[in-house]
Amino acid sequence: MYGWRVSVARDEKPFKQQALPTGRLARFGRMARLASGVAGGMVAEGVKQWSKGQRPSMRDLLLTPSNAERVADRLSEMRGAAMKLGQMLSMDTGDFLPKPLADALSQLRAEAHTLPQKQTRATLKSIYGPDWPELFAYFDIEPFAAASIGQVHKAQLHDGRDIVLKLQYPGVLASIDADVDNMATLLRWSGLVPEQVEITPLLNSVKEQLKDEADYELERNYLRSFLEALKNDLRFWVPETVDELSNKQILAMSFVPGEPIESLEYADQAIRDSVMTALIELLLIELFELRLVQTDPNFANYRYDYESGRIVLLDFGATRAFKAKFVNDYKSLARAAVAGNASRMLAAADRLGYAIGNTDGPYRDLILEVFNIALEPLSTPGVYDFGESDMPQRMLALSNKITEHKDFWQVPPAEAIYFHRKIGGMFMLAHRLQARVPVYDLFQAAVKS
């Protein structure tokens, strides 16, 4: 939604415009040119290294920073499933990817090209008809937010309402399966993803998630669900849908004011604490009460309205409905971590679908340590001071150790990936805001039943 990426002032850094290839052959052609560019980069790097008397391996030639940048740039141009897969690989397997590739793919979390104005107008015409400008008193043809699935425009209706329209890139839905399969082939062929990283479950999850995110009617239903669930909670502000202008390809919503949530790092401690307490409490409510979690942790999906003191919630495209079994098993895992019961933690992790290694083996000990650190805020009575915590550094150190156990490591179960991404995003925001939150008490209240 418009929370995907908050644009800077246009005179500072305008969006890059790039026509979007919509046909299957056109998109395959882009992928083929990417493969050709990677191969050309290998040759150039090989000549340079050999001229210095060095004998680089094939893997070294593939994993140059220039080749990694080439991959990231092409995915940003293509958008859609190709870009989304790059984002997910960066976030979910970044510690297992070569650093040049991980660094390059991380750019995809915040950057996307936008459509040229001509293609934007043609897309709006195909959705609303040739008289589409007459629907609005004002329409800004320049998007102010952009991501892998679509871009967002400001507009005003004739009755004076300020709205935003989330416009889906043309051809995104039809390209999902082919894009993901082509990306998988390229990543495996090039060696840019190590052989020990089994990404098939992640690929299937990307296809499923992208098809859901490309269904704007589904997102509209999720938005309504959150609006209803939070209608009496004055801490939050959720946009309302403009149904007469919405369909599967475009989602119209009321414009909600607010400043970037990160701006709160300059606010009083009490405000930072209360905002993060509300957001972490909402996360627990989403999982344990609603079983409906907005899984995208992008900071831009949260804004703060200083006038009303309310937290603005944006972008429900990545919302997932979690099965009762996952919720119950995760509740068991968290309770066991709080109680310090290792055997119960491992049993719950096994039921969730994690590879937990051999009995009493070093990998199993590492997995336990990972969960203990990740759930540390839930296990700490009193107030957890995220600003003073070194949890991110300890998690990174453990991730490096896990890479030594290539025979055991596998991509975690899809539902856990999405939920842990949300947890990680909330904890990162709490660290950014130097917030102090009674996470233990919030967890106990959420699982008291």
Own/partner pairs for 341-346, CB < 8 Å, 24+ apart? Answer: 342/368, 345/371
Closest CA to 426 of 286, 274, 237, 299: 299
CA 233 – CA 220 distance, rounded (Å): 20
H helices of 93-215, where? 99-106, 117-128, 172-190, 200-213
CA 268 – CA 263 distance, rounded (Å): 11
Residue 237 amino acid letter: W
CA 364 – CA 266 distance, rounded (Å): 42
Q: Are 38 and 67 a contacting pair, CB within 8 Å?
A: yes
CA 363 – CA 371 distance, rounded (Å): 13
Q: Are 153 and 255 a contacting pair, CB within 8 Å?
A: no
CA 195 – CA 363 distance, rounded (Å): 19
Please report the sign of the dihedral spanned by the C-alpha atoms of residue 270, residue 439, residue 293, residue 169. Answer: positive
Assess whether 296 carries a catalytic annotation: yes
**Token pair of 52, please?**
């210095």
Closest CA to 436 of 204, 268, 237: 268
Q: Are 447 and 333 a contacting pair, CB within 8 Å?
A: no
CA 217 – CA 117 distance, rounded (Å): 25
H helices of 340-438, where? 342-352, 362-374, 376-379, 391-402, 414-432
CB atoms within 10 A of CB 35: 16
Beta bridge partners of 165: 153, 252
- The active-site residue, picked from 73, 92, 296, 315, is 296
Beta bridge partners of 372: none
DSSP 8-state assignment for residue 405: -
DSSP 8-state assignment for residue 148: S
Q: What is the DSSP string of 375-390?
A: THHHHSSS-EEGGG--
Tell me the catalytic residues.
296
